[in-house]
Chain A
Amino acid sequence: MTTQTAAKPHDFDTYWHDVLAELARFPTAPEVQELPLRSTDFATAYGVRLTSLGPYRLYGYLSIPTGDGPFPARYHLPRYGSVTDLVPQGQANGQRREHVTFAICVRGQRLADQPYAAAFPGQLTDGIDDPATYVYRGIVADCVRGLQYLAARPEVDANRIAAIGNDLALTTAALGPQVTHLVSTPTLLYATSELAPRTSAYPLEEINDYLRLHPTRRDAVHNTLSHFDLRWFGSRVSATTLLMAGADGSALDAAALQPLIDDIRGETTVHKAEHSGYRDGRYAEEWLSQRFGMAEPSLPPHWQD
């Protein structure tokens, strides 16, 4: 399956240049509070509040290893939903021994839901009639703001900053030159206008729901989504990249992602999903630990041999 029917918007670069310029006008203004409940003998956890586009106040979970740094950093970008975890569910909490970790709650998510509390389903189409009002304009900027904060921490090794997540990890790596390594699983923002009509599964079904109720807005919606299409971000990514593709034959398999793969400027590895959180997760952990020069990957007990 190839998805090359859409074209890059003529104002794509200007749009994102303007977003970043607007973001730069807002000071980060971090407030950092230790979280004793989530701290251990090997890492201290903090809750961080910081300002993004709007201005809008965000929240993030920061963890810093005990001992002398600098440490490699894992920047966990949120999945689609209301919850961001300190460490993504199922991953080894032990990753906090050797890595600074930072997980950002973007606007609309819990802990960043004042004044905007997103609905799920609902957020994917919030303001979707116009690129200037689409909620993802702010969300993508939120992720960049979190990266800027993380990269400025003195405990972080600037040569080893990984953005890890789904679509937002890739947009962050594209817009944030501080990202040196990228682990991304394209999910919602790749060829969305073309792929949504081919499924009835949420979250993409939100697009179908919206257009069923508002059919006259189709062109506007497609125009908005094209400004967030991962295909047009690829040429901006210079990080060493692991792209997690769907299994062969799936909507986002390696063949479908080929235009993006071709455009990414950094060294790129493509992993085809094996429909196993264990096998896919372990592959990503081993890939990252090798690129970071770590002695061992951070694996939870049941993933270890």
Chain B
Amino acid sequence: MPRVPADQYVSQVRKPEDIDRYWDDVLAETAQIPLDPEVVYDPLRSTAHIDVYEVFYTSLDHVRIAGWYAVPRQREGRLPGLLQVPGYNMEPPVPKNWAARGYAAFSAAPRGKLRSNRQFNPGYPGLLTYGMVDRNTYSYRGFYMDACRAVDFLLGRDEVNGDRIGVTGHSQGGGLTISTAALRPEIKAAAAGAPYLCGYMDSIELTDAYPYQEIADYLRMYPDSRQQVEDTLAYFDGINLAHRITCPIIISVGLQDSTCPPETGFATFNAIASDDKKIYAYDGHGHDANNHEHAAVVDAFMAAHLKE
């Protein structure tokens, strides 16, 4: 049977009535924990034009989180802040490329990533299904907060203009862009590429590729847990968080993406509350979502909203 065009797909995800209260409670619980940032200059990664620091801060459950912070050496006034969030099985990059363009750039390594895995390390595969039968134990409860706390780090820096903070990422980074923009109103611009963590349950029907296949593996082994899994994931689904996004946002999808099906990107886009939103759908592209050309779109978008 031919597939429904991605932009006409109807998600099966159902939104919990208490989703906003759930996340407001998690945010409040997180806010009670001192950030306790530690900033360590890294001479190996720094250059003549960019200072690089290793950063550590405390997040939900008192888990210590790492990140890379890069700032241009020569600057006038306060800089726009840019939070970069990582893909599922990639290491967070040192964001020197964003610093070179005039941003105070922070690249977060949420729990389980290298350098943030001493207290929590479910591995890959593993992270996507860890604690998935309970919204209060699910891995992404803390993972989402780790990205949100990076916003607190940027807000605490003297060189950062707290009124001009953006977030961007691809794949899981795209999903974290959605969740962070939804949960932190300080975000003023968001660019999500091929977003993951949107339409979790839809995706296991739309593709047989990993990482979503991890959920299919789990349900094959524990079929009686299906309802609990659906109930939990509904609280974390980007489609269900999108109504909280009010900042300017762009999303890119590849129409032949087998990793993060484009159907879920459209469903997320349609649910975003912001009037200032645009989706770039690239035919002939997979999970790259035409990043080769779209990177310039993201650059221009961030500059327009954070610099001008």
Give residues in A with beta carbon < 8 Å to B: 36-38, 40, 81-83, 85-87, 89-94, 110-111, 117, 119-121, 200-202, 205, 209-210, 212-213, 275-279, 281, 300-303
Contacts and interface: CB of A to CB of B under 8 A. Distances in A.
Main SS class of interface, B:
loop
* Range, interface on chain B: 35 or more
Given A92-B258, A93-B213, A302-B257, A83 B290 contact: no
Contacts of A83: 89-90, 124
A211 to B, nearest CB: 11
A33 B209 CA distance: 23
A89 B209 CA distance: 7
B44 A81 contact: no
B67 interface: no
Interface stretch (B215-223, B236-244, B271-279): B215-223
B292 interface: yes
Interface stretch (B147-155, B177-185, B280-288): B280-288
List the 4 shortest-distance A-B pairs measured between CB atoms, nearest first: A278-B286, A300-B258, A277-B286, A278-B256
Contact of B208 (A94, A200, A210): A94
Given A37-B218, A81-B89, A202 B285 contact: no
B290 A276 contact: yes
Interface centre among A89, A92, A201, A301 (most CB of B within 10 A): A89
Nearest to B43: A213
Contact of B47 (A38, A92, A210, A212): A212
Contact of A201 (B88, B97, B290, B292): B97
Given A90-B209, A92-B209, A277-B288, A213 B44 contact: yes
A209 B44 contact: yes
A300 B124 contact: no
Contact of A276 (B100, B125, B284): B284
B285 A278 contact: yes
A301 B210 contact: no
7 contacts: A40-B220, A90-B259, A91-B209, A119-B115, A213-B43, A213-B44, A278-B256
Contacts of B89: 81, 83, 85, 89
Contact of A275 (B91, B213, B288): B288
Contact of B125 (A86, A120, A205, A278): A86
Given A83-B89, A92-B208, A120 B286 contact: no
Given A83-B90, A276-B286, A278-B286, 11 more contacts: A37-B218, A82-B114, A91-B258, A92-B208, A110-B124, A205-B94, A212-B47, A275-B290, A277-B287, A301-B258, A302-B207
Contact of B207 (A119, A120, A201, A300): A300
B262 interface: yes
B286 A81 contact: no
B45 interface: yes
Contacts of A201: 97
A89 B259 contact: yes
Contacts of A202: 93-94
Contacts of A121: 45, 91, 94
A92 to B, nearest CB: 6
Contacts of B217: 37-38
A47 to B, nearest CB: 12
A36 B258 CA distance: 24
A85 B218 CA distance: 16
B26 interface: no
Contacts of A92: 208-209, 258
A259 to B, nearest CB: 26
A187 to B, nearest CB: 14
A121 B93 CA distance: 8
Nearest to B89: A83
Interface in B191-235: 206-211, 213, 217-218, 220-221
B254 interface: yes
A59 to B, nearest CB: 11
A89 B194 CA distance: 14
A85 B208 contact: no
